[in-house]
Amino acid sequence: MRGVPARPTGSVEVITGSMFSGKTEELIRRIKRAILARQRVQAFKPRIDDRYDAHRIVSHEAVSVEAVAVGTSASIEERVLDETDVVAIDEAQFFDRGIVEVCDKLANRGLRVIAAGLDQDYLGRPFPPMPELMAIAEEVTKVHAVCAVCGGPASRSQRLIPQATTVLVGGAESYEARCRGCFEPRDVPRTEF
Ligand X SMILES: Cc1cn([C@H]2C[C@H](O)[C@@H](COP(=O)(O)O)O2)c(=O)[nH]c1=O
Residue stretches of the annotated binding site for Zn(2+): 147, 150, 179, 182
User: Does residue 108 interact with ligand X by CB under 6 A?
Assistant: no
Minimum CB distance to ligand X smaller for 44 or for 122: 122
> Is 91 in the active site?
yes
User: Does residue 152 interact with Zn ion by CB under 5 A?
Assistant: yes
User: d(Cα 51, Cα 47) in Å, to the nearest integer?
Assistant: 10
3-state SS record for 61-86: CCCEEECEEECCHHHHHHHCCCCCCE
User: d(Cα 155, Cα 124) in Å, to the nearest integer?
Assistant: 9
User: Does residue 119 interact with ligand X by CB under 6 A?
Assistant: no
User: d(Cα 48, Cα 25) in Å, to the nearest integer?
Assistant: 20
Site residues for ligand X, window 156-175 (CB under 6 A)? 157, 166-170, 175
Member of 76, 134, 147, 177 binding Zn ion (CB under 5 A): 147
User: d(Cα 31, Cα 150) in Å, to the nearest integer?
Assistant: 33
Q: How far is the CB of 138 from ligand X (least distance, A)?
A: 22
User: d(Cα 176, Cα 161) in Å, to the nearest integer?
Assistant: 11
Minimum CB distance to Zn ion smaller for 131 or for 151: 151
Under the rule (CB under 6 A), what is the footprint of ligand ADP? 17, 19-25, 59-61, 145-146, 148, 177
| Active-site hit among 91, 132, 138, 192 | 91
